Amino acid sequence: MDKRKEIMLNGFKQQVSNQTTISDLLSLHNEIDNYFIVIRNGDYVFPHSYSSTVINEGDKIEFVKLYSGG
């Protein structure tokens, strides 16, 4: 049986599978834009760590899109 965890993603509660990674979250939410960063519990997550960073119960994840212009 797949245990579920509750996290906050962009300010909203969400249930995820026990072994969900940042990469899994990105795929689940169709985030393929290269112009964003991922913040986990207030810390920047480096892109090379997405597939090895497992989400924990209660984590606060933010997908922050970067915009430029003037």
Q: How many domains does the chain divide into?
A: 1
pTM for the predicted model, two decimal places: 0.85
- Average pLDDT of the chain is 90
Tokens of 44: 């920047």
Cβ contact 17:2 at 8 Å:
yes
pLDDT tens digits for 42-51? 999 999 999 9
SS3 state of residue 67 = coil
Query: Which CATH number characterizes residue 40's domain?
Result: 3.10.20.30
Q: 16 is in which domain, residue-wise? A: 4-65
Q: Residue 34 domain-assigned?
A: yes
Cβ contact 22:52 at 8 Å:
no
Which of 18-21's residues contact partners 24+ apart within 8 Å by CB, and which partners?
Answer: 19/54, 20/54, 20/55, 21/50, 21/51, 21/52, 21/53, 21/54, 21/55
Stretch 46-64: mean pLDDT, rounded? 95
Identify the pLDDT of residue 24.
Answer: 94
